[in-house]
Amino acid sequence: MLLKDRGFVHPIASEITPQAVFNARRRWLATAAAMAVLGPRAAWPQANAAAKSAALPGARSAVPGALTMDKPTPLADASSYNNFYEFGTDKSDPAREAHTLKARPWTVSIEGEVKKPGTFGIDELLKLAPMEERIYRLRCVEGWSMVIPWVGYSLSELIRKVEPTGNAKYVQFVTLADRAQMPGLKSSVLEWPYLEGLRIDEAMHPLTLLTFGMYGQVLPNQNGAPLRLVVPWKYGFKSGKSLVKIRLVEQQPATSWSLAAPQEYGFYSNVNPKVDHPRWSQATERRIGEGDLFAKKRPTLMFNGYETQVGSLYAGMDLKKWF
């Protein structure tokens, strides 16, 4: 209620991307030229990026901070420029390879420090709480960003259902790792399955979204179908895709990137312009789909612009140490 509408008119999902226009236009335009100069692998997803998905509407969220005023990124970009290493490390790989992912049937098991552990089917999860649309900024650790209208509900809705015990201090997210569906698992770039984690208060924060759709449709495979996490104040890799298991645990859980490069990727990985990645600056970001080639990069915001909502979670913490 509080920030439901601060006198601005928010775009509704159907108005954000003229999808049919993108589909038709992208398919016909100079794919051949792109193929010749970039090679067929890079050029192909351009042609079939924004595939049609079933509708999944969400009511405008009333959670404070959930509806950014920033202009949403075109769906064609958000569904063709993805880091989802299970389908290849190139950002054009997932759009081309993820068709092999079987998003149904799907179950998610919730276990560990909970009174009511269990396995939930995807249909059950879809009905567990009302769907909300949340327009979040997404900041990748690599230095680019998007604005995506997600559809889902707060993860806390699900966690409350399973009644965490007093020992539940952290939440670990385990994502799908199936060689039959995911060609990228052949690569040794990370240990599989991809693991992520949050502190319990982070996981229970209303902005932490259990996500089933985007742009008013069910999630495309390359964006983490059939359900993923979205933690908007952390770098994108903290938001695991295609979740299969959620474990509530007492100790800080292992996470894939901090296993692979502990000096580069910490457990927290909050968006922070003042704490550089050891190999590059995090002070600015390129907003995908915004402006022309010569557009200046944007300054990156503390906690990706969600400081008002989440800053108190980290009161008194040295964020350089707990990067």
From 25-33, 167-175, 196-204, 205-213, span contacting another protein (CB under 8 A): 25-33
**Contact letters (x/-) for another protein, 185-224, by CB under 8 A?**
--xxx-----------------------------------
From 31-39, 154-162, 244-252, 311-319, span contacting another protein (CB under 8 A): 31-39
Considering only the C-alpha atoms of the chain, give the largest distance between any 2 of them, rounded to a whole number of Å: 60
Nearer to another protein by Cβ, of 33 and 254: the residue is 33
**Contact letters (x/-) for another protein, 116-145, by CB under 8 A?**
----------------------------x-
What is the footprint of another protein within residues 262-281 (CB under 8 A)? 279-281
Q: Does 33 bind another protein (CB under 8 A)?
A: yes
Q: Which helix (H) or strand (E) holds 153?
A: strand 144-154
Answer whether 23's CB lies under 8 Å from 98's CB: no
- Tokens 């595939």 belong to 51
Determine which residue in the list 61, 80, 223, 270 makes contact with another protein, applying CB under 8 A. Answer: 80
Triad 192, 195, 199: Cα angle to 5°: 170
Q: Which helix (H) or strand (E) holds 202?
A: helix 200-204
- Tokens 């709480």 belong to 129
Q: DSSP label at 231?
A: -
Q: Does 294 bind another protein (CB under 8 A)?
A: yes
Tokens linked to 323: 């990067």
Closest CA to 267 of 191, 133, 149, 170: 170
Q: Which residues bind another protein (CB under 8 A)?
A: 26, 29-31, 33-34, 36-38, 42-43, 45-46, 73, 76-78, 80-81, 85, 89-92, 144, 187-189, 279-281, 286, 288-289, 293-294, 296-297
